[in-house]
């Protein structure tokens, strides 16, 4: 029996990369998935891929940094699937390679709006549905924050804010049987592939810091950890950050 039969999920940033991999795996395990992404073409592509594999999915184009669009996305998922059991917040605009002294208000605001605020909006928007029957939330952080990665100040701060709201919500919402956890993945996404081509020296240096010697695959390495966190097997795990990075960063 598939682990998520009868469940419905929202996955943001699901048009490509990690979000796509997560959406595919949750659907494979029986969840109906609302595929949310700012790019309508990739959003539709992932939804069609799920449907082609025999799963249920809807495509919802959404800028997660705009509350009205988030509310509309949640409403679309509820209309299609009756309720929401699982929320995975992966959407994030990646802005890096800027020294702290050169960061502008715009850079910080763009990072926070697409990452922290988008995560916050979806958590609030889904709460009313998850509260009544329990549910699972997984947010996506980054070792850029836990390690303090140089030249990634806005992105690192955004990801640490996401981990902070994860811990707070885990404490506040535990009484509703809502589990809230975070993952910090290192995965071969389109953004990492571009970085590999444009900055091969930096990429190779980062690769050398991974004990397992490779970046993870979104569908085969990262998504199974999310699947575990949203499955009944992990009902007693909440408020945690799981490093899914081949051992590159180890929380102490």
Q: What is the pLDDT of residues 142-173, one digit of tens each?
A: 999 999 989 999 999 999 999 999 999 999 99
Statement: residue 70 has pLDDT above 80 = yes
pLDDT of residue 248: 94
pLDDT of residue 22: 98
For 1-60, the DSSP string reads --TTTT-EEEEETTTSHHHHHHHHHHHHTT-EEEEEES-HHHHHHHHHHHHHTT--EEEE
Is 155 part of the annotated catalytic residue set?
Answer: yes
Q: Which entry of 121, 155, 176, 215 is annotated as an active-site residue?
A: 155
More confident residue, 41 or 200: 41
**Which strands form 241-244's sheet, in the order they lie side by side?**
57-61, 32-37, 8-12, 86-89, 135-140, 178-185, 241-244
Least confident window among 21-25, 44-48, 94-98, 217-221: 94-98
Mean pLDDT, to the nearest integer, of 96-118?
94
pLDDT of residue 94: 87
Q: What is the pLDDT of residues 22-56, one digit of tens each?
A: 999 999 999 999 999 999 999 999 999 999 999 99
Instruction: Show the tokens assigned to 161.
Output: 């804010």
Statement: residue 231 has pLDDT above 90 = yes
pLDDT of residue 190: 84
Instruction: Show the tokens assigned to 146.
Output: 């836990």
How high is the mean pLDDT of the chain?
A: 96
Q: What is the pLDDT of residues 168-184, one digit of tens each?
A: 999 999 999 999 999 99
Separation of CA 146 from chain center: 16
Domains of the chain (ranges; CATH) run 8-241 (3.40.50.720)
**Backbone φ and ψ of 80, nearest 5°:** -80, -35
């Amino acid at each position: 029996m598939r682990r998520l039969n009868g469940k419905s999920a929202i996955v943001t940033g699901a048009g490509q990369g990690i979000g796509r991999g997560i959406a595919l795996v949750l659907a494979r395990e029986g969840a109906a998935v609302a595929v949310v992404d700012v790019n309508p073409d990739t959003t539709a592509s992932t939804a069609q891929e799920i449907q082609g594999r025999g799963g249920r999915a809807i495509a919802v184009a959404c800028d997660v940094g705009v509350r009205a669009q988030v509310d509309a996305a949640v409403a679309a998922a509820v209309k299609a699937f009756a309720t929401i059991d699982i929320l995975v917040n992966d959407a994030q605009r990646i802005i890096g390679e800027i020294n702290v002294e050169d960061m502008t208000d715009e850079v910080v605001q763009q990072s926070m709006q697409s990452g922290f605020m988008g995560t916050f909006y979806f958590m609030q928007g889904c709460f009313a549905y998850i509260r009544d029957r329990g549910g699972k939330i997984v947010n996506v952080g980054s070792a850029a924050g836990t390690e303090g990665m140089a030249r990634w100040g806005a992105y690192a701060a955004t990801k640490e804010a996401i981990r902070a709201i994860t811990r707070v919500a885990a404490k506040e919402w535990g009484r509703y049987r809502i589990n809230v956890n975070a993952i910090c993945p290192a995965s071969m996404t389109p953004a990492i592939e571009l970085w590999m081509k444009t900055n091969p020296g930096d990429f190779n240096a980062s690769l050398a810091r991974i004990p397992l010697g490779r970046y993870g695959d979104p569908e085969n390495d990262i998504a199974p950890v999310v699947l575990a966190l949203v499955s009944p097997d992990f009902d007693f795990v909440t408020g945690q950050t799981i490093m899914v990075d081949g051992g590159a960063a180890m929380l102490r």
